[in-house]
Chains A and B, each alone.
Chain A
Amino acid sequence: MIRFTITILTLAAASVTATASTAPDTLKTVENPTEVTIVTGGSRSLSLTVKSDSSRYDFLAENTPEKSEPTIDISFPFIDNVRKQHTKGRRTKWRSFAMRGIYAGASIPSDAVPGLRTGWELGISQLSGVELLSPSRRTSLTAGVGYFYRRQKVGNGSHLSDNGHGRIAITPAPEGTHSHSSSISSFGLQLPVMLKQQLIGPTGMAVGVVGLWNTYTTASTKWTDADGTTCKRKMKGLHQRAFTVDALLIFNFGSEIGWYARYSPMHLFHRSTGPEYSLWSTGVNIGF
């Protein structure tokens, strides 16, 4: 918008009255001028002289463009990051990680094996691994390596007996003995391959399969004879399967604490070399 400002250079002594109907940009109204002379002209300014019977007025009219309203822009570095992610995020991305999925829980036999009781387990699902992130970064496929320890208890009037050549069995405890305590311990590496999906914020779930490399399995049994003698026996060189597979489901509430359920359908021991059982295990998972 163009606005006119009018500057009076010289004002004669004669009285001049602006009428009430004067327009806003009108500085003076001269009644019955006798002479009007444009001294200089142009697109930006106008100099003129107005004469009436008793007075002379010199005016300089300049048109100055009104300053346009300034524009302010604000930005944040993290918004830029979001935009970059938005533009770059159309591609999948590989990354490595360490220490995910420290867990501990109870392992419950799913087969009705007399004497076999609930045990416990702990481990680190992924001591280190790699992750393939989806373009949205909310879905990923991970593969890693970790380790596990699982201890399955035997009781309820039964104990583990050594059948020779590394073969063990759950048998009724001998009469006259008491305070029986037997367990099967298994330690090894685990190789989980998980599909992970973030649901709301960092809360999410993961589902996958875990290969267990059962590197070391032992059994132990302990009892007290009728005469009060405590006996212990450890059995090594057992016939565990070298490789078994579990199914794993994790729900994580936030980025740290979560719950897991694991199903181990494969029997730990080869046929006729030890108790044959499948396991359900559940517990707390830290790190997602």
Chain B
Amino acid sequence: MAIAFMALGADRTKSAAMIERHSSAPGAEVTVIKGGDLSRYGLSEYHSLTLPSATAATADEIAAAVSADIASATDREVSYHNGRIKYAFLTMPTADDGLNRYVIYVCNPAKSGRRRVVLIDIKGKATARQLQNLIKITSK
């Protein structure tokens, strides 16, 4: 049993753990999609967490988890602003079920020095290129 738990833990990204950890935070928006329309895009699971007004401590905790995932990612696209991770698209090691796994992170300024944090954990057959083509990114 302990081995099974270890294996489960190894398969999860630090970001996925953050999504779970902060999913019940005040104002948190969690979106979980499995199957259905996702299969059209070569994806099987989509988990996202949006914290519209995260405190600096929460934002830093999530950023630390993303940093850990950056270290273990097989491919990464990261941009920084004032030394802080602004955007990250990470290709993580393949999941136990053979599917590709990706982490996407965006940290925007919010009112009163708070941060708007979006953290997404995605699994599927789609390649990083296919997924990047799917995402619409707007920058202001």
Interface residues in chain A, defined as those with a beta carbon under 8 Å from any beta carbon in chain B: 68-79, 81-82, 201-202
Contacts and interface: CB of A to CB of B under 8 A. Distances in A.
Interface in B37-69: 37-38, 40-41, 43, 46
A73 B137 contact: yes
Nearest to B89: A74
Nearest to A137: B36
Nearest to B137: A74
Nearest to B104: A74
Contact of B134 (A69, A73, A76, A81): A76
Contacts of B41: 76-78
Nearest to A73: B138
| Overall SS of chain A's interface | mixed
| Overall SS of chain B's interface | strand
A267 B49 CA distance: 58
B140 interface: yes
Contacts of B86: 69-70, 72
B33 interface: yes
A71 B33 contact: no
Contacts of A74: 104, 106, 118, 120, 135-138
A82 B33 contact: yes
A76 B137 CA distance: 9
Interface in B12-43: 31, 33-35, 37-38, 40-41, 43
Interface of B: 31, 33-35, 37-38, 40-41, 43, 46, 81-82, 86-87, 104, 106, 108-109, 118, 120, 134-140
A71 B108 contact: yes
Contact of A71 (B43, B134, B136, B139): B139
Contact of A78 (B46, B120, B140): B46
Contacts of B82: 69
A167 B87 CA distance: 81
A78 B33 CA distance: 9
B87 A72 contact: yes
Nearest to A78: B37
Given A76-B41, A78-B38, A78-B43, 15 more contacts: A69-B86, A71-B108, A71-B140, A72-B108, A73-B106, A73-B139, A74-B106, A74-B136, A76-B136, A77-B134, A78-B33, A78-B37, A78-B46, A82-B31, A82-B37
A76 B108 contact: no
A76 B76 CA distance: 19
A69 B31 CA distance: 26
B31 A72 contact: no
Contacts of B120: 74
B106 A72 contact: yes
Contacts of A81: 37
Contacts of B134: 76-77
B134 to A, nearest CB: 6
A201 B34 contact: yes
A288 to B, nearest CB: 14
Residue among B86, B134, B135, B136 with max Cβ neighbours from chain A (10 Å): B136
